[in-house]
Structure 1
Amino acid sequence: MRRPARTWLGTLLAASTLVALAGCTGGAQEDACDTSTANVIECAPEQRGDPIKAAGELLDGDRYDLNQDRGQVVVVNFWGSWCAPCVAEAKDLEATYQATKANGVRFIGVNVQDMREKAIAFERGRVTYPSLFDPASRVALAFDPPPNSTPATIILDREGRIAVVLRKPVRQDGLQPLVERVAAESPPVAGPR
């Protein structure tokens, strides 16, 4: 009798896990976009949802709100100092930022599940753009489709809507063309830097 009970319990746990994971893979907005490439979601302008509303405290203690960069393309990178792929992609993120910022592109990091001191030390000498300090990973909840991984990079169009989600480490040769394509959709709007 014990064996069937274990089998039943194992089946129930497996089914519960599949349901939970399915609920975390994305939402209605993700279903509307092109997910033909592994770990990359691209949303055409007519497929994009509402502007993302997210704000928080930067690593230096200042406040940041995505609304302040409306009119700019914003590249949001979710990272942690404990994440080896994040270390590997930092140079490529910075190079892409430097190559595209004159075209009205802004980069913002979101440091997750980390200690402030480690995050600040990680950024020093690696990137020049700011990062939100989000140890509880709450900022990701504002995004649909969600990042769902660390690292993850999301490109927002000039209206603040998700254009591209990359759920993998990035390299400049893959990221920069995507950023430039979204930046070319409409001219930059003068705004705060």
Structure 2
Amino acid sequence: MALRRVAAGLLAAATATALLTGCLPDGAQPKCGSEDGIVQCTPEQRSAAPTISGELLEGGSYDVADQRGQVVVVNFWGSWCAPCRAEADDLENTYQATKESGVTFLGINVQDSRDKAIAFEEGYRISYPSIFDPGSRLALAMDIPPNSIPATIILDREGRIATVIRAGVRQEGLQPLVERIAAESQPPAGQR
């Protein structure tokens, strides 16, 4: 069992590194690093995120492309997921602490019923939107299989993948990552 977990962890890190380095020129060496389950890339080595759009839990639609110029923290979660419950307050607190810096958050609810997902958000007082993706279509497009939930991806202001975290997050670990990416380039005052 332990060997399977190690192998799964190595596979996840390799997949995340491949996802993050998919746009490298031939022969270029990636400047992405992986440490403690977190894969980070320098700005010149980031690849564009796939299309992230869909129906919101509460109705309406959302397209992350409309957030260009903002740092977008995308969190994949499910109400059935114990680590997702453990990280909910940390995600909300990080959102509140960074939103004035041109940062927005988006949840993507997977493998869930709408009623349970809405109850989860209400119970944890989540104030940022979540896309309802019961079939995990968006997660799979980003190489996030349902068995690796929770996962968090940080997109830079150009919509490129800067960081992939394939584990639950805590505010003290997530907030510095978000702040560092937000500080790379500040949006014009009218877009904050």
Q: TM class, shorter-chain normalised? A: 0.7 to 0.9
Contact 1:71 / 1:158 at 8 angstroms: preserved in 2?
A: yes
Match of 2:131 in 1: 132
User: In the TM superposition, what is the alpha-carbon distance from 1:42 to its structure 2 partner?
Assistant: 0.2
Match of 1:39 in 2: 37
Tell me whether 37-46 or 102-111 shows the greater mean CA deviation.
37-46
TM-score by length of 1: 0.81
What RMSD in Å do the two structures reach over aligned CA positions? 2.2
CA distance in 2, matches of 1:151, 1:99: 21
Q: State the shift of 1:38 in Å.
A: 3.1
User: Which digits, 9 at most, give the CA deviation of each residue in 1:155-181, with x for residues without a partner?
Assistant: 000000000000000000000000000
Partner residue, 2:18: 28
128-137 or 38-47: bigger deviation: 38-47
- Partner residue in 1 for 2:25: none
- Counterpart-to-counterpart distance in 1, 2:118 and 2:31: 35
**Displacement of 1:28 after TM fit?**
3.2
Aligned-partner SS, 2:84: helix
Shift of 1:45: 0.2
**Structure 1 stretches of 5 or more lacking a match?**
1-17
Aligned length: 171
- In structure 2, relative to structure 1, the CA distance for the partners of 1:188 and 1:147 (3 Å cut) is farther
* One-letter code aligned to 1:87: R
Q: 1:115 to 1:37 in 2, by over 3 A?
A: same
Correspondence for 1:177 = 176
Tell me, in whole angstroms, the C-alpha distance in 1 between the residues paired with 2:166 and 2:71. 19
The C-alpha deviation readout for 1:107-128, integer Å capped at 9, x for no partner, is 0000000000000000004211
Structure (1 or 2) with the larger CA radius of gyration: 1
| Pairing of 1:52-131 with structure 2 (within 5 A) | 52-126=50-124, 127-131=126-130
Instruction: Give 1:61 deviation, angstroms.
Output: 1.3
Partners in 1 of 2:20 and 2:104 — Cα distance? 24
Q: Quick check: 1:110–1:134 contact (8 Å CA) kept in 2?
A: yes
SS of the residue aligned with 1:124? helix
CA contact (8 A) 1:147 1:165 kept: no
Residue pair 2:107, 2:131 contacting (<8 A) in 1 also:
yes
Map of 1:150 onto structure 2 = 149
Which amino acid letter does the alignment assign opposite residue 98 of structure 1? Answer: Q
Deviation at 1:53, TM superposition (A): 1.8
Distance, in Å, in 1 between the alignment partners of 2:154 and 2:11 is 24
Q: In 1, Cα distance between the equivalents of 2:45 and 2:88?
A: 30
The separation in 1 between residues aligned to 2:49 and 2:83, in whole angstroms, is: 28
The answer to whether the 8 Å contact 1:52/1:162 transfers is no
- Whether the 8 Å contact between 2:13 and 2:37 is mirrored in structure 1 is no
1:34 shift after superposition: 2.7
Identity of aligned residues (%): 61
Alpha-carbon spacing, 1:104–1:93, altered in 2? closer, same or farther (3 Å) = same
SS at match of 2:152: strand
